Amino acid sequence: MKEYRILTGGMGAAVSNWELAKAVGECGQIGVVSGTAMDVILARRLQAGDKDGNMRRALAAFPLKSVAERIINEFFIEGGKAEDASFKPIPMFTLNPPKELLELTVAANFVEVFLAKEGHSNPVGINLMEKVTLPNLASIYGAMLGGVDYIIMGAGIPREIPSVIDAFSKAKDASIRINVEGAAKGEEYTMTFSPKEIMGDMLKEIRRPKFYAIVSSNILATTLVKKTKPAVDGLVIEHNTAGGHNAPPRGGINLDDNGEPIYGQKDEVDIEKIRALNVPFWLAGSWGEACRLKEAIAEGAQGIQIGTLFAFCKESGFVESIKKAILEKMPDVFTDPKASPTGFPFKVVNLEGTLAMLETYLKRPRICNLGYLRHVYKKEDGTLGYRCPAEPIKAYIKKGGEEADTEGRKCLCNALVANIGLPEVYKNGYVEQTLITAGDTLKKVREFIKEGADSLSVADVIDKLIGELSPSEA
């Protein structure tokens, strides 16, 4: 059996898009798409004119023809929307989302996986974040309909996901617990997704993909392998130098003089203990060097998960101007303890003109209109509400949130969608700005650019990483 040595880091939103994942698959490794915010991304790609027709082509393969047609009728604009026009809004997720939103989410994840799988026969995965909880069931189901081979989830404790995948593969309903702030002890909230309600007569059993959990501690790795039923099929061990969100340091966040969280020996994962769990595992976070891949294999890892190096390849979803600016300037990376509404540290690239810069951040009027990172809370009257520490401060406080939690928070939802060239444009002329994340080893990206070239490709990265493997390692 072929050994895969490189797993694409799932990079939201749509940085690991279908084009990047397909390119990795064509190079013989495992391509992964990000499943985060795919509903709004599909709706906006269609409103941007779907220039090469890929969205509509993939929708034509979606099993529910009437749903595909409705989505195209609702969102597709021939030639694309006017540059100064706003996108048509879609509803934000709640515990009881409208059926149209569930259908859009299922279709969008199907589309991304379907396109990523074209042109090669290597496996494709989808990355989802446990903290972006509410769309996850519909996203998983859509990806499974698209034939996804791996579901990979981090940013939380995805204990219930293996049984969700089991249920969906058997065409059954599945539920997950929802964390509700202010709920009484023992009070449980769940969200259920019913394949039957979406698929109707088209409901079928589908192949079960494998499930990998992304973890940053031995305790969590052990729990997910030994105490979760069914167990996870594999692990991605992510170091705090990785791009995107990082697990908070164990024992709480203390900051150094630079304002970054202090990580120490307690945050290092003991690989010997991981090996003893006897499941395939991948190492993530600063492993992007040929010698480190050999080291990872020698440690017993299946391979390495690569994010930062792929993020700035020509095939990734970041807009061209961002890739160019990063490759030219190679700015510093700051582990921001406050930026993310999740409360997890988030790596931010100090690039001029982005929300990393105070003056750009302060110019943004706070608004919450995508809502993927909203927290669910229990109101005084017992009903549920939704709030985000990056929303307008007054509204957040009115909903019972603490003012201190709003400080320095950034609207990742809008920024990440702006990063891929689909920024919201408001009536007052304000255009959502970008905010770039990358791992601590960003400066190494340049070493992968071929002499004389001014851009980087997936093939350049993979060739250099696996080129030094011996036949027994490859």
Ligand X SMILES: Cc1cc2nc3c(=O)[nH]c(=O)nc-3n(C[C@H](O)[C@H](O)[C@H](O)COP(=O)(O)O)c2cc1C
Residues lying near ligand X in the complex (CB under 6 A) are found at 9-12, 15, 34, 36, 127, 129, 154-155, 214, 238, 241-244, 284-286, 288, 305-308, 311, 437-439, 441
Nearer to ligand X, 31 or 307 (CB): 307
In sign, the C-alpha dihedral spanning 252, 254, 255, 256 is negative
Mention every residue, 6+ apart, whose C-beta is less than 8 A from residue 240. 216, 246, 247, 249, 261, 263, 267, 285, 335, 345
| DSSP state letter for 332 | -
Task: Report the residue count for the chain.
Answer: 474
Contact 367, 92 (CB under 8 A): no
3 state SS of 225: helix
Residue with tokens 């589309």, as numbered in its chain: 111
Q: Which two tokens stand for residue 163?
A: 């049984």
Distance between CA atoms of residues 10 and 281, nearest Å = 16
Which sign, positive or negative, has the C-alpha torsion 337, 346, 180, 402? positive
Q: How far is the CB of 318 from ligand X (least distance, A)?
A: 7
| Least distance in angstroms from the C-beta of 91 to ligand X | 22
352, 355, 358, 364: CA torsion to nearest 10: 130
The least distance separating ligand X from the CB of residue 325, rounded to whole angstroms, comes to: 14
When the beta carbons of 195 and 249 are compared against ligand X, the nearer one is 249
* Distance of closest approach, residue 293 Cβ to ligand X, in angstroms: 12
CA pair distance 163, 232, nearest whole angstrom: 10
- Closest to ligand X by CB, 38 or 67: 38
In the complex with ligand X, the residue whose CB is nearer, 284 or 339, is 284
- CA count, 13 A, side-chain hemisphere, 59: 26
Q: Name which of 349 and 368 has its Cβ closer to ligand X.
A: 349
- Nearest approach in angstroms of CB 192 to ligand X is 25
Residue number, 234 or 288, with CB nearest to ligand X? 288
What is the H or E stretch that residue 461 is in?
Answer: helix 458-466
Q: State how far the Cα of 77 lies from the Cα of 88, in Å rounded to an integer.
A: 11
67/132 with CB nearer ligand X: 132
Least separation, in Å, of the C-beta of 446 and ligand X? 15
The answer to whether 171 and 203 are in contact (CB under 8 A) is yes
Instruction: Give the three-state DSSP class for 403.
Output: helix
- Closest distance between ligand X and the C-beta of residue 172, in Å? 27
Q: What does the block give as tokens for 54?
A: 């890929």
**Which of 305, 414 has the CB closer to ligand X?**
305
Minimum CB distance to ligand X smaller for 122 or for 340:
340
Shortest distance (Å) from residue 128 CB to ligand X? 8
Indicate the DSSP class of residue 390.
T
Residue of minimal Cβ distance to ligand X: 307
Q: Strand 124-129 relative to strand 150-154: parallel, antiparallel, unpaired?
A: parallel
Residue 82 neighbours by CB distance under 10 Å: 9
Give min distance, CB of 182 to ligand X, in A. 27
Rounded to whole angstroms, the Cα distance separating 207 from 166 reads 9
The residue (of 347 and 375) whose beta carbon lies closer to ligand X is: 347
| Alpha carbons 201 and 191: distance in angstroms, whole number | 23
The nearer residue to ligand X, 12 or 162, going by C-beta atoms, is: 12
Q: What is the smallest separation between the CB atom of 340 and ligand X, expressed in angstroms? A: 11
Structure tokens at 134: 């509410």
The distance of closest approach from Cβ of residue 61 to ligand X in the complex, given in angstroms and rounded to an integer, is 25
